[in-house]
Every structure is written in C-alpha cells, then in structure tokens.
Structure 1
C-alpha cells in the first residue's frame, strides 16, 4: 500500500487528522500510484492520471500556482505526452495545469493535448472575464489573501459535451457524466474496466460545498441524486477533487451515501419549512443538520457550513427576499444605525453593548451591535476597536474557511481604520493555508 493510501486509511479510521493533506507535504514525493495504471497528484485540486497506449489521460489539472510542479512530477515518472485532459468543472483550482503540456507539445512538434469539458464551462469562463474585479475581492476576503488577483486568461476546452460522452484513449474506456452540484458544469468520470470513479468536487472530505455565501447558486438536490447514482456504480476506488482517495466498494458507498443523507436532510427540512410559510429567519432557527453525520471525518464542516447550505436552498426556491417586510425595500444601513445610536446614546454605547454581549457569550448578537456601531459612526475609534474585538472572537470560534475568511477580513478592516497598517499583516498571520480558488 502506498504512503498516500496508508495515510488515507488512518484518516478514515479516525487514527490521523486530515490536516497533513492540506500542507502540500504529500505531493513532495511526486505522483502516488493508487493502483496499477492509476496515479494521483495530491494538490489543492487533485490531479489524477492514467497512462494509455495513446498517451496520458488526465482528470483535472490543478491550479496555476502548481502547474509547473505538476508538469515536473509527471515528467519525473514518464515522458509519455499528455493526450487528453478532462476538467471536472470550471473552477480555477482545476483548470490551469495544461499550459506546460501545451508548450511541450509545441516544442516536440506534437498535437497539443485535447481538453474535454461540459459545455457550461464555456459560459463560466466568459462570466469570469466579465467579473474579474468582483471575483478578486470575494476571494481575497474568503481566503484572507489581500494580494490575490483573479485570472483573466483561460485554456478553453477543445471538445464539449451536453449530457454524457464516451472516450476511448489507447484502450482505456472513460465514461463522462454531467451533473449539477457545487457547479452547473460538473463532469464525473467513470472508468468501468478499472473500477475507478473520478468525482471532482461532488466529494471533498468536508461537508458538501453547497452553501458558500459569496458565490453563485449551488444545487443541493441535484447533488444528492448524483451522489446516490455514484454510490450505486460499485466503484472500488474513489478519486475526489479535494482530499484523500477512498479504496473499497463498501467505504465508497458509505461515504457517498452519508454525504447524500446530509444534503438531503438539509434540503428537505428547508423546503418543508418554506412550504409551511416560514420566513428565512424561522427556517434558519429550525433546520438542524444530523449531528452523527457531521462527526464523520469526511463530512466535518471545515470549508462550508450547513447553515450556509440552508440559505442556498432558500435562494434556489425562494429568491432573494427573506420574508421580512422591512427588508423588502430597506433604509440604508448607515441611516438605520444612526437612528439606533441616537436612541441608545451614540455609537460608543452600541460598541459598549457589543462588548457586554461578547462577555456574556452572545457572539452573534455582539456582532450585530459592533457592526451597528461602525455603521452609525465610521470615524469612531471605539466602535472599530469593539468591532475588531468581537469579530476576532467570532473568527476564533468559526469552524469553516468561509466564515473565518469573512470575520478575519472584518477585523482587518477595523484594524486598518485604527492604525492604517495592520490589515494585511493580520490577514497574513491568520491565513488558513487551505486556499481553494473557486467561484
């Protein structure tokens, strides 16, 4: 058993933490052989390779920061050209590794690799190019990376498909299936002769990323259906978009089934509450995730959170209005905050109350009052100090990358207002080191 598979087995059994995967340490030894003719490069976005008689088949290609390292790892193992690459979806941590192989093909006078993807990858790339500034800002915030700039140039696929496609590469049979989940352009690759299932981000060793407060719509119920379909294939090896391989049909069925059960529970509870006439606030207070599932080592809410999934289900079925009549055409936040400050004794009194609530352990409520204080008086040093204190504690208590990123960014904004110098330093010190550039 390879080093990677031994580690994956210990994580599955609860005998090791999955944190080593996120350090990049595992890819220092290059490609890992998962089975005969199955290689994995464990990067931020995993890359899976299969040698064939016509050249290499590659499922996913990683991000731009590691493209050179991927190329070097492949060439340390083989000089066989890359024949075909498939994008699991269009997120930028999966589509930027083809460039060095294109350049190599040009230098060697060979056809460049053929890239295949679902047809909706094309409008995704176009959308990215239309919203570069927004994508830069939200990823700076989510991943606490103030210098990040969203890429504006993409390796477009050479071939696209709509629902299903079959590839035959040097004797290797590959079935491509489209599904909606984290994205609308996802591709699952099933290699029946090898019993290998490449599932992209349908499974990532974390609670499914079906919420994500700063990103476009996710599709929880479609995701559930794809998970259950994959669980029924009888795969012996599961190669995910992020996280560790899973080997053994029983384990794969369990992992995919548990992920489906978690999402289905959140989806069905949310929709039932909506059907009863509940507002979003009422939905958020009543829907609960199955606690036993969240304890699984592959379903812990370390990236996304069930609460965010509930909001995304609401958005899919109910639109943007949350059911609060005051929120339909609200006054400006600053205007409301100034009125509340006048009633309570000023922004400083709001800041004081935020600290009192924080000391009492009411972190979420404290967050409201700290933000109101800054909205009421953006020049108030005391308001910014309270805001930084409160959101620093919220950041410490948060479990997910998404929540930590927003809270850390808020602390950094108030720190910058206080002294003009600490923002970027705070972000660097508090970076999770688990960056996944996606949108």
Structure 2
C-alpha cells in the first residue's frame, strides 16, 4: 500500500509561522550576494555522464520559486532558495567559482599559463561540466595545479577530471593538500564506510524526492552528484601555518587547521589578489561538530581558535572571502564580522556545554537548556541549516565525557527491541500505548509520539498501526526542522516505516579510493570484516607477498583477531600467497574469492590453500541497506 506524504498539521503550521516572526526575513542581502558576479550556467541545468546517465538535475527544484509552504520551516526554505543559485560566478579579478553543480563549490584561479583548480567537487562529471563553462568564457587553458583544502570527498572526488596520475607523478600538474589528507580520506570512507554510507542516505535524503513535502536541499548545498568519485595522492603537502607556495605564478600563503571541520584541513590567502579562502571552516550556516552520518567529533575550541587566527593573519589584507560551500563575502568589515560571528558561535557552544556539564547536567539536558545569545542566533550564517545547536551540544559533551551520562541506570540498558517489549508490557500493551500516543499526536507532541511509539515498533515491527503513527510523527518533525539533515532523517524514517528499506546506490568505496589505500590499510579493513566469534577457535598464519610493491606481511589469526607483522620468519606459516595489490584489495573488501582468483591465475598459493581461503571465508560481507527505524 502506497502512502503519500501528508499535509502539515495545525501544530506544524503554528510552529513554522512562529519562525517568520523570530528572524530578520526582511534582510535580503544574502540573495544579492549569492547572485553577485553571475556569468552563465547550464541550460537546462542537467549534468550527464559519458554513458548518458543523469548525475545531476536541478529541474525538480523549480518548486522553490514561491513562498514557503506550511510543510517547510521558512528559514530552511530561504536557505534552499539560496542554494539553488548555480553556474559560473566571478569572485574577483582572476578568481571564479562553479556553484550549484554539486553540494560544494569549485574555485578557479587564473595563473600565468593556466588554471589552478581549488576543491574539484565530488564527481568527475560535475567537474567536466564546470570546466566546460570556464573554458568557454575564460579561455581554453590547461590546468596547472590543484589545491584540495581538506579530506572530505565532495572536495576531491572529481580530481581526475583535471589531472591524471601520470601528470601528477611527473610534476606536470601539482596537487597540493594538507598533511594527513590521504589517510583521512581513506579511513573515513572505508573503515566505517558501510555504516556511514547507509546513514548518509538518511542525512542527504537520497531516497526522498525533492518537493515541499520532501527533500529540501541539504543546507550546506543542494545535494550530492551521483557520478564518478576519484582520488589522487598529493604531490605537495602543507604541514604548518605560514607555509607558502607559488603555483603558476600565484602566491599562496597557507594556514594549517587540523582537527577543525575535517581532520586534515587548511585555509589559504592570495596576497596579491587580496582574497582569502576559508575552505569549509566557515560557511553560511552552523556546521556540524558531529555529523549525523557518523564521523569523528570535531574540536569546537580549536575550530574557534583557527577562525580567530585567520582574522589576525589575513583580515587586514583581504577584500573578498570565498569558501567551499555557499557564496563569498565582500569587504573587510563584513568579512571580519562574519568570521567573528562564527568564531564566537563555536566557542559559545563549547564553553556553555562544559559549564553546564560542570553543574551535573547530562548531554540531553544541556541540549535542551542552551540557547544562543540573540546576537548570534539572529545572524543568518549561524542558523542550523546543516548542523544544529541541539546535536552540536551533544558533540561537545561526547568529546570530553563520552556517551555515558554518569547515571548508573543508563550504564547497561537493554537493546531497543528488548526495551521495547518491556516498555509496551509495562504500559499496558500496544493498544494502550497507541491510544495515548494518538492523543499526544493531536496535542502536537510529536517528539514524544516518535519516542514512545518507537518502543511498540521495536517490540513488534509488524505492527502497521504503530509504524504509521510513528511515521506521521516523524513527518511533522521533519516539516518543522530548520536543519536539512534533521528534515531528511525524519522524512527518510517516515518513508521506510511506510514502504520498507530501499536499495539505494550509495557507496564511498570507489575504485580510486581502493587504489589509494596502502597494503596495511587494506589489511586493517580485512581485520574489521573478520567475524571474531566464528574465528576465535582457529589459529594459523599466512604470509602475503604483494608482487607489484614488493611488500610482505605475515598475518596470524589468534584469539579471533588478525595480527600483522613485517618480521617474516623462514618457516612456520601454513601458506604463502603471492598476489598483486589489486587482487589483495578485492579479497580485503570482499569483492573477490581466493579460490577463484587462484584458478584464474591472478594469485598463487604455496602450502595449505585451505587455511589461506579460510582467512577470507571467516570474514563478513556487509549489507549496506540495513534497517534503522526497525529492528
């Protein structure tokens, strides 16, 4: 049975109307800035791959050319309209940006002989489309350098549209990135990649159609292109603030900011152009100290300090600031105001969270208590379109104090399905819970409905009435959310409760990412896949020789874990496997079979083939479309 999205309830209408009176909607300067410098765009705004497959299409967002409907928080609607500005834009002399062709921006700096490309988006198809506009309007010149500001895939994934491995290896095109870039690009997208990709489907609303009752861009940008993601190793690493490079005649002064918005990140200044790139360390919204897809907690205090350092280092010599998402800021006074507001935003969240924690409040309690000062809360660029005050407070708490709130009642709770059965029994059975929950729904208490009915769903996932009521509550919470990821999570949960889990093609483990992984990274991932309970009673050793790199690793299975060593004994191992790195990658990732590879001649085994095959047969194959809102 198909259930269409429902209209806003009176409680949601009232909540969204209240937003209109709380924020300065008469201030339209952001719209002027977002359109400033427009040169041209694609018509129609569609990007296809070499095979004709559509990887980007902005036509479904035409509905945004209207006033905010009751099913969307008007502040989020405003941001979605701003995100929809797309095409080639002039930032200042010799600096242009491609915006709205992906979730992120690609910046083009004109050098003496060609183009310096900053942050080449998520996919090669998006970069190709952007560079076509650049060459059409600025001239057909080669790419001489690439600068990647940080280790998130939407800022490097399209890199091979502008530089090949050979060009980088020979020095024909320089690729500049912060130290640690490659390690973090791989670890974030592979080691936790399956779980993170599944949650990213919720965060970005991958399975939700755009619309007034559906996906509403994602706050930080419109969405993710569904194209080809690539990766290349840097040729030049930035290791400290103040480091300088001259790229194609343009002087770059870098600020190294590790542990800010990304584990490896950097800003840079172009002194002769009086232009400052703040990477993703600032944007026209509150960012994530914790991202709902799952990632390392970001250091709010360090992040704030880096922004303050940027003001001191560069503000006096800057006329324009451009960033990895959204639109630039022009004029020294406005740039300093913008940076100071974001500096103080993250510092306030950090300090207030720890102040209230010192008074004994838990993460949930603090998140309900903290309110931003009006001067911070009403500054448009501090609104929670991507991050949110609520979950960022919890991130600060987790960074310092972890998941446990100190109350022993919460030290060892039952898992959700077991808790659900007990709660429902205590509350008089599912009919009693649902009867009371419907009254709470009618009262507009959707948070409570979502929470309490969740116990019925986990106690009995086949209870259709419970699933539909929780879906209705999720939907209204989504309609009220200012944060696009919150909206997408709620609406994704509602859709899956109504229609079941979708099989969505989202993965961060692309061939280029795999090729960039070292042998030890591949073996680390193999260790993650090992099923410990199945493996702990077995013990054997296998020697691997990676034929194209000359590396050797001895892998020993003991106590349900894999122990890796570079100290190779003359004997004592059960098998010796010789294989190229590409074959090892397939085995480690679970996309290849050892016996089949041996038969095909892509590897050789000396000794006991059964033990070497058993090593991989003891590993799980991960299913990406696992359940989230049901057991």
User: Please, what TM-score do these two structures have when normalized by structure 1?
Assistant: 0.86
Match of residue 433 from structure 1? none
CA contact (8 A) 2:197 2:293 kept: no
Three-state SS of the structure 2 residue aligned to 1:200 is coil
User: How do 1:310-389 residues align onto structure 2 when only pairs under 5 Å count?
Assistant: 310-389=393-472
Q: After superposition, what is the alpha-carbon deviation per residue over 1:362-418, rounded to whole angstroms, capped at 9, x for unaligned? A: 22112111211201211111111111111111111111112112111210121025x
Q: Are residue 145 (structure 1) and residue 206 (structure 2) matched?
A: yes
Match of residue 46 from structure 1? 105
Three-state SS of the structure 1 residue aligned to 2:284 is coil
Please give the alpha-carbon distance, in whole angstroms, between the structure 2 residues aligned to 1:5 and 1:140. Answer: 29
Three-state SS of the structure 1 residue aligned to 2:261 is coil
Q: Are residue 8 (structure 1) and residue 33 (structure 2) matched?
A: yes
Q: After superposition, what is the alpha-carbon deviation per residue over 1:185-221, rounded to whole angstroms, capped at 9, x for unaligned? A: 1110111222111011111111132232332211111
1:344 deviates by: 1.9
Match of residue 172 from structure 1? 250
Three-state SS of the structure 1 residue aligned to 2:155 is coil
Please give the alpha-carbon distance, in whole angstroms, between the structure 2 residues aligned to 1:182 and 1:355. Answer: 41
Q: After superposition, what is the alpha-carbon deviation per residue over 1:62-105, rounded to whole angstroms, capped at 9, x for unaligned? A: 12051221221222122221111111111111112321222598
User: How do 1:179-198 residues align onto structure 2 when only pairs under 5 Å count?
Assistant: 179=257, 180-198=259-277
User: How do 1:1-40 residues align onto structure 2 when only pairs under 5 Å count?
Assistant: 7-8=32-33, 17-23=78-84, 25-27=85-87, 30=88, 32-40=89-97
Q: Are residue 121 (structure 1) and residue 184 (structure 2) matched?
A: no
- Unaligned runs of at least 5 residues, structure 2: 1-28, 37-74, 209-223, 505-631
Equivalent position to 1:96, from 134, 147, 157: 157
Of the two, which has the highest radius of gyration? 2
CA contact (8 A) 1:207 1:294 kept: no
Please give the alpha-carbon distance, in whole angstroms, between the structure 1 residues aligned to 2:425 and 2:325. Answer: 50
Three-state SS of the structure 1 residue aligned to 2:322 is strand
Match of residue 431 from structure 1? none
Q: Which has the higher helix share?
A: 1
Three-state SS of the structure 1 residue aligned to 2:96 is strand
Match of residue 201 from structure 1? 280
Equivalent position to 1:413, from 487, 496, 519: 496
Change (3 A) 1:187 1:6: same
Please give the alpha-carbon distance, in whole angstroms, between the structure 2 residues aligned to 1:145 and 1:36. Answer: 37
Please give the alpha-carbon distance, in whole angstroms, between the structure 2 residues aligned to 1:63 and 1:297. Answer: 27
User: Please, what TM-score do these two structures have when normalized by structure 2?
Assistant: 0.61
Three-state SS of the structure 1 residue aligned to 2:144 is strand
Let me know the Cα RMSD of the aligned residues: 2.8
Q: After superposition, what is the alpha-carbon deviation per residue over 1:319-372, rounded to whole angstroms, capped at 9, x for unaligned? A: 121233222211121112111211222123222322221221222112111211
Please give the alpha-carbon distance, in whole angstroms, between the structure 1 residues aligned to 2:230 and 2:179. Answer: 18
CA contact (8 A) 2:113 2:144 kept: yes
Please give the alpha-carbon distance, in whole angstroms, between the structure 2 residues aligned to 1:181 and 1:348. Answer: 49
Three-state SS of the structure 2 residue aligned to 1:298 is helix
Which portions of structure 1, spanning 4 or more consecutive aligned residues, are displaced by more than 3 angstroms? 16-21, 103-106, 146-153
